[in-house]
Chain A
């Protein structure tokens, strides 16, 4: 390149190199902190264990609530937590529903509304679900109640985590 034919001025050259090197050093400093902060969303989901809920013979064809107690890992804390599971028999099949309303998360109960004794009812905004968890059209919830993964071994029902039905 000839002396007269500079496309990049000295000032531009310095701006680019200094910004480049400075940016590189700055990101080397910031990057570990950002990765550290976003770690929770990049964590692989832990495979869920199965916990004993109740014996199959306790189930009827009408939903009943059962307490589910299990160990939950939460960062540096491991604690025993309690949940409620609504379970019933659909012929031979076990159905285990979560009482967390799919509208905004209040707690539903079966027969909670006297005028709809065979539905789940949410007191917060009067959401309703059929016995199998299907949301009743025209009430606020937009998807069915979540169902627990489950298995039956030696007459005992084990459940995992509730799964969305959509």
Chain B
């Protein structure tokens, strides 16, 4: 049955080459942990992507209950965590996943650095990688405010002070990020918008560019 549905679609729009391109792509021996176990270091890029997918999925589900409003934000997080079935798990995935992404991304960066994979002709992909790094730090920073508890509030205060310490434009930058002069209602909605729309959009775009470039240039050779 499934085969017939597949064939029907494939007959018309020829989808086989799309997934064949990925499925038949050869994994070179020097990056295959089956050949040399130490090649597991090449998995960290994929693991970073995997945790990003978990963050996006769990984050989408959290927004079913979360409200970015200073009166209700904390109550909604408490409700989704303690009253909704599996709330503790779904919030836990997002909470711990946020740290796991950063660890994986860091290990991936170390692998690229120590295998010298950033050298010509892959300099542009290193730059894209650094942009991804900043976008993910931004997701961590903006997400941290959302539960609207003490830890969230003071972490954001410190983060904003850091932005304000930038020479010349610091004060303006701080006010722009906070959406006003205090950390309040407007900061929360702003951080929420940045956290769930702007940065995930930018992240997906950058990841697409990252992967397209990898397919064009191939993985870097053995040491």
Residues of A within 8 A of B (CB): 29-30, 32-33, 35-37, 39, 42, 75-77
Whether B54 pairs with A39 at a CB distance below 8 angstroms is: no
B150 contacts the other chain (CB 8 A)? no
A35 and B72 in contact (CB under 8 A), knowing A75-B65, A75-B79, A76-B79?
A: no
Pick 28 A–B contacts, CB within 8 A, sort by A: A29-B54, A29-B57, A30-B57, A32-B89, A32-B90, A32-B93, A33-B57, A33-B58, A33-B61, A33-B86, A36-B61, A36-B64, A36-B84, A36-B85, A36-B86, A36-B89, A37-B61, A37-B64, A39-B85, A39-B86, A39-B87, A42-B85, A75-B65, A75-B76, A75-B79, A76-B76, A76-B79, A77-B75
Q: How far is the CA of A106 from the CA of B47 in the complex (A)?
A: 54
B78 contacts the other chain (CB 8 A)? yes
Q: What does DSSP make chain A's interface, helix, strand, loop or mixed? A: helix
Whether A39 pairs with B93 at a CB distance below 8 angstroms is: no
Q: How far is the CA of A84 from the CA of B72 in the complex (A)?
A: 28
Closest to B72 in A: A76
Whether A36 pairs with B54 at a CB distance below 8 angstroms is: no
Residue among A37, A39, A42, A76 with the most chain B CB within 10 A?
A76
Closest to B61 in A: A33
Looking at the assembled complex, report how far the CB atom of B20 sits from the nearest CB atom of chain A, in whole angstroms: 15
A-B contact number at CB 8 A: 40
Whether A77 pairs with B72 at a CB distance below 8 angstroms is: yes
* Given A33-B58, A37-B61, A76-B78, 12 other A-B residues pairs in contact with their CB atoms under 8 A: A32-B86, A32-B90, A32-B93, A33-B57, A33-B86, A36-B61, A36-B87, A36-B90, A37-B64, A39-B87, A76-B76, A77-B72
Q: Which of B72, B75, B78, B90 contacts A33 (CB 8 A)?
A: B90
Q: How far is the CA of A49 from the CA of B216 in the complex (A)?
A: 66
Q: Which A residues touch B93, using CB under 8 A?
A: 32
Q: Which A residues touch B65, using CB under 8 A?
A: 75
Q: How far is the CA of A3 from the CA of B57 in the complex (A)?
A: 46
Report B77-109 residues with CB < 8 Å from chain A CB: 78-80, 84-87, 89-90, 93
Whether A35 pairs with B85 at a CB distance below 8 angstroms is: yes
**Closest A-B pairs by Cβ, 10 of them:** A76-B75, A76-B79, A32-B86, A32-B89, A33-B61, A36-B86, A36-B90, A35-B86, A39-B84, A39-B85
Looking at the assembled complex, report how far the CB atom of A31 sits from the nearest CB atom of chain B, in whole angstroms: 8
Looking at the assembled complex, report how far the CB atom of A165 sits from the nearest CB atom of chain B, in whole angstroms: 33
Looking at the assembled complex, report how far the CB atom of B194 sits from the nearest CB atom of chain A, in whole angstroms: 23
Q: Which B residues touch A29, using CB under 8 A?
A: 54, 57
Q: Which B residues touch A35, using CB under 8 A?
A: 85-86
Closest to B73 in A: A76
